[in-house]
Structure 1
Amino acid sequence: MRRSITAAVTALAATAAFTLSAGPALASPPTPPSASTAATELAGLTVKTEGSTTGYSRDKFPHWITQSGSCDTREEVLKRDGTGVKVDSSCQPTAGSWYSVYDKTTFTDSSDVDIDHIVPLAEAWKSGASGWTQAKRQEFANNLTISQLIAVSASSNRSKGDRDPSEWQPTNTAVHCIYARYWIWVKYTYNLSLQSAEKTALQQMLGTC
């Protein structure tokens, strides 16, 4: 995995809280590189025509795997990104609330919350992951050390689908800066390519930082 070790070690300094002017302080994915570093990383990514989804299946990105004890990746993100989260012996949330930064909505039922892959699995497949081993795709789909996973409303996650930032951006414009930084960090860590329109959209989002 290109450049991943240094980036991941830097990121592990904290799973930081950040405050939005339009929402509460909340837990979040590991803090991504700064906007200036993100711009440098973005400039280093390969721009080319996107590949196809031929051969793609979510089953080729095994998730959610066990992370610790009885907790799988989804449950770990629910614990991390929620407030006052309590879980039972099987790591299922029994209490807590989750604030979705994409659309500024709050939920108290974890079934209303999806775990979004910042860079969708199909997008990764079209950007280079089709040539990876299944073990590497599993790592990508469950990576908690970078900003690849975030708890958001099910409706916003399904609205996003597999689209990149040239096609979809959070309706909450206050998070466009950090969303772009999240996206770039993931693509840079895994040396994934991007389309010209995608790069332009990310540059525009970084301009809001």
Structure 2
Amino acid sequence: MAAAFTAVLALGVTGCVPVDEPDTPPSAAGNVDQQLGELTVAAAGSMKGYSRTRFPHWRDTGKNCDVRDTVLQRDGEGIKLSGCNVVGGRWESAYDGLALTDPADVDIDHMVPLANAWRSGADEWDDSKRGDFANDLTRPQLIAVSLRSNRAKGDQDPSQWKPANRSYWCQYAADWVTVKHYWRLTVTSAEKAALTDMLEGCTWANKP
């Protein structure tokens, strides 16, 4: 799979709006251990009032294309386009190592699930801010993975679900922390303990 923060392949494609990506993944650029320590620990909130429609996605990124197409292009190789809709390519799902060639088998996962965000403070946002969160291409919030792994994850946090691919745990935990820290979302005590455990031994995560 192409690096998660490789420049978007939509550059130069007619009808698609280029999306600038940082040269270095935010999770590797900052002090993840420090960010984890700064997260507010709180009990999970209520699901009252939750609906995926309260997190409007996917936003348009050009004529007949959207954020999903952008992530498919960014995370895939050998991308085939119809206009700027992704109709073919190859993706390696970081969660379970599956190689995928049909876009229909690829889900765009929200690293921090929408329902989890709702229980962590997003219930107090307006729909515009929730839309910004659901379409966030700057933080490591969106990743192309297998449909199967995304459905297995659901809205669970790292204390409840971890990728089958253990070699991805360091990156997964760091990305989760990066997203929650930026959006000022809370974590449960069990969630923080699981993140701490996953980051143990990830020496790059603790470098200033």
Q: TM-score range by the shorter chain?
A: 0.7 to 0.9
Show the 5 A alignment for 1:52-67: 52-67=46-61
Residue in 2 that maps onto 1:159: 152
Residue in 1 that maps onto 2:64: 70
By how many angstroms is 1:192 displaced?
0.3
By how many angstroms is 1:143 displaced?
0.6
By how many angstroms is 1:16 displaced?
4.3
CA distance in 2, matches of 1:93, 1:73: 11
CA distance in 2, matches of 1:136, 1:36: 24
Residue in 1 that maps onto 2:80: 86
> Alignment length, in residue pairs?
185
* Structure 1 spans left out of the alignment, 5+ residues: 1-13, 18-27
Cα deviation per residue 1:26-52 (whole Å; 9 max; x = unaligned)?
xx9961333971110010011011101
CA distance in 1, matches of 2:201, 2:52: 33
Indicate conservation of the 8 Å contact 1:176/1:208, yes or no.
no
- Within the candidate set 183, 186, 203, 2:179 is matched to 186
Q: Report the residue type matching 1:207 in the other structure.
A: E
Corresponding position: 1:195 with 2:188: yes
Indicate conservation of the 8 Å contact 2:64/2:85, yes or no.
no
CA distance in 2, matches of 1:150, 1:62: 17
Residue in 2 that maps onto 1:46: 40
TM-score, normalization: structure 1? 0.84
Q: Report the residue type matching 2:179 in the other structure.
A: V
* Structure 2 spans left out of the alignment, 5+ residues: 8-20, 203-208
CA distance in 2, matches of 1:36, 1:188: 11
Residue in 1 that maps onto 2:168: 175
Residue in 2 that maps onto 1:110: 103
Residue in 1 that maps onto 2:10: none
CA distance in 1, matches of 2:29, 2:200: 9
Indicate conservation of the 8 Å contact 1:16/1:31, yes or no.
no
Q: Report the residue type matching 1:42 in the other structure.
A: L
Indicate conservation of the 8 Å contact 1:93/1:110, yes or no.
yes
Q: Report the residue type matching 2:150 in the other structure.
A: N
- Within the candidate set 170, 181, 198, 1:205 is matched to 198
CA distance in 1, matches of 2:53, 2:132: 13
Query: Secondary structure of 1:163's match?
Result: coil
Residue in 1 that maps onto 2:5: 15
Indicate conservation of the 8 Å contact 1:32/1:181, yes or no.
no
Between the two proteins, what is the percent identity of the paired residues?
Answer: 51
Query: Secondary structure of 2:27's match?
Result: coil
CA distance in 2, matches of 1:124, 1:15: 23
Residue in 1 that maps onto 2:11: none
Residue in 2 that maps onto 1:138: 131
By how many angstroms is 1:69 displaced?
4.0
